[in-house]
Amino acid sequence: MMISKKIDELKEELIQSTRDILMIKSVEGEPTKNAPLGKGVSEALDKALDICDKLGFKTVNMDGYVGYAEYGEGEEYIGILGHLDVVPEGDGWKYPPYAAEIHDGKIYARGALDDKGPIMAALYGLKAVKESNLSLTKKVRIIFGTNEETGSKDMDYYMKYEKPPIGGFTPDAEYPIIYAEKGATIFDIVKEIDVLEDESIKINYIKGGNRANMVPDYCEASISGLSYEWLTSHIEKFNQKEGLKVLLEQENENIIIKTYGVSAHGSTPERGKNAIMFMMDILSNIDISNNSLKKFISFVNKNISYDVYGRNFGVYLEDKASGKLSFNVGVINYNEGKIIMTLNLRYPVTFKLEDMMEPFKKTLMGTGIEIENFEEDKPLYFPPEHELIKTLQKVYKEQTGDEPKLLAIGGGTYAKEIPNIVAFGPIFPGKPDLDHQPNEYIEIDDLILNAKIYGNAIYELAK
């Protein structure tokens, strides 16, 4: 109660500090000597540390990559990690995205929820602990990251010079607590395609999708050697598939096939309709002349098709903590001589990478298809009985009166960037997720409640 009472006393100061940091456009920019992630990001970090300084905390700026405010004594520390960088504001705002105007009890600005508002709430939570003269056995660091949106170079730099916290959280997701985040991989499957002198029915190119971690809503292919009438008749049955559409366009001797699907995040491909796999379905029913391309199309139709869980490929996995493996085809590029398909596979938290990749490679055997550009983001998992989870559950229930259910996700949060922390808020159940959206805002009541939750959580973890 003491901490929450202090937060109420600090309310106006918290609102003003939050607005001050939100008024800085901290999108990654051109690096300079003292601003490795650009001028705006550097300005936001300086401002945050200046606020910390005025609140009476020891501050450290690690060469513009990351900064932190520290309170307490001891070797071990509790880490609260948030980021000050934001994605570009985009269009469609009803209030200026960097004015931090208050309307109807809401602060509107890019970064209000993700993560500037919440990390300021955590900072003032620590200030309330300090002003309440509560004794701690561990140090506490509020860590200000600067590169979460575009690669997390900040945390690579931090971990190069600092030891990890023994526990903590990041206000970079939703409440109650995300205790499980799937392992995520992005990689290409690539096949060299024979270049033939004469092809009576020829696919000139295939291109679709923008990012591995998005279900593609558009794909197109150019084909020659077929009549427009025959192809129109051929695609008729495909336009009966729910949520999918195909159109044809004549272009000189070629016909452009355009497929349309429904976009979704790569972590939840079941919510989308994949325009690339729709294209593969259509092309598999055309007798093209190039046998090596034909074999690739046939292979992906047999082993992927519209399956988003990896069953066809032989890589299906499922656990109680995080559910089913997800399998997304995100991008395709075919030009004469090579076809590249970019995949985003996410595996359940209690499995290892090889549980997925060994059967994956087995399915590829003898096809001439190679794996290239492999990237992995390891899973994050805390058992429900872990002390960190139990502590945060206790605080959440005390402060909100709600049941602190544990969440498992296919996406990744900032918690994956340093050891021993979990994602904890700031979005309350039933509230909209406005991250990266126009008209992003944080409700002032939620900002204050976040500060109370975070202040009490900091005390419970560090006492």
Domains along the sequence of the chain with CATH: 2-181+380-462 (3.40.630.10), 183-377 (3.30.70.360)
Structure-token pair, residue 49: 């540390």
- Nearest in space to 281 (alpha carbons), one of 215, 235, 223: 235
Q: What is the pLDDT of residue 194?
A: 87
Percent over 90 (pLDDT), the chain: 86
The pTM score is 0.85
Q: Would you place residue 336 in the very low, low, confident or very high pLDDT band (cuts 50, 70, 90)?
A: confident
In the residue annotation, 85 being an active-site residue is answered as yes
Look up tokens 């945050």; give the residue. 48
pLDDT higher than threshold 90 for residue 132 = yes
Helix, strand, coil percentages for the chain (3-state, nearest 5) = 30, 30, 40
- Give mean pLDDT, residues 6-11: 97
- Nearest in space to 218 (alpha carbons), one of 226, 210, 229, 230: 210
Q: What is the pLDDT of residue 99?
A: 98
Name 423's bridge partners: 170, 178
Which of 164-168, 244-248, 250-254 is modeled with the greatest confidence? 164-168
Phi, psi (5° rounding) for residue 374?
Answer: -80, 130
Structure-token pair, residue 17: 């500090």
CB 126 within 8 A of CB 451: no
pLDDT higher than threshold 90 for residue 289 = no
Cα–Cα distance list, 414 to 143, 150, 380, 411, 448 (Å): 12, 12, 11, 10, 22
- Nearest in space to 158 (alpha carbons), one of 79, 214, 216: 79
pLDDT higher than threshold 90 for residue 208 = yes
Q: What is the pLDDT of residues 168-205, one digit of tens each?
A: 999 999 999 999 999 999 999 999 998 887 888 999 99
In the residue annotation, 148 being an active-site residue is answered as yes
Q: Would you place residue 374 in the very low, low, confident or very high pLDDT band (cuts 50, 70, 90)?
A: very high
DSSP secondary structure letter of residue 163: P
Please give the biggest Cα pair distance in the chain. 83
- For residue 330, the Cα-to-chain-centroid distance in whole angstroms is 15
Specify the 3-state DSSP secondary structure of 367.
coil
The radius of gyration of the chain's CA atoms, rounded to the nearest angstrom, is 25
CB 293 within 8 A of CB 193: yes
Dihedral sign for Cα atoms in the order 282, 284, 286, 291 = positive
Look up tokens 């307490």; give the residue. 72
Strand segments (E) across 264-350: 264-265, 318-319, 323-324, 326-335, 338-347
Structure-token pair, residue 121: 């709430």
Specify the 3-state DSSP secondary structure of 374.
strand
Measured CA to CA, the distance from residue 274 to residue 261 in angstroms comes to 5
Which residue among 28, 89, 114, 148 is the active-site one?
148
Phi, psi (5° rounding) for residue 142?
Answer: -95, 115
Q: What is the pLDDT of residues 407-457, one digit of tens each?
A: 999 878 999 999 999 999 999 999 999 988 899 999 999 999 999 999 999
Measured CA to CA, the distance from residue 344 to residue 207 in angstroms comes to 17
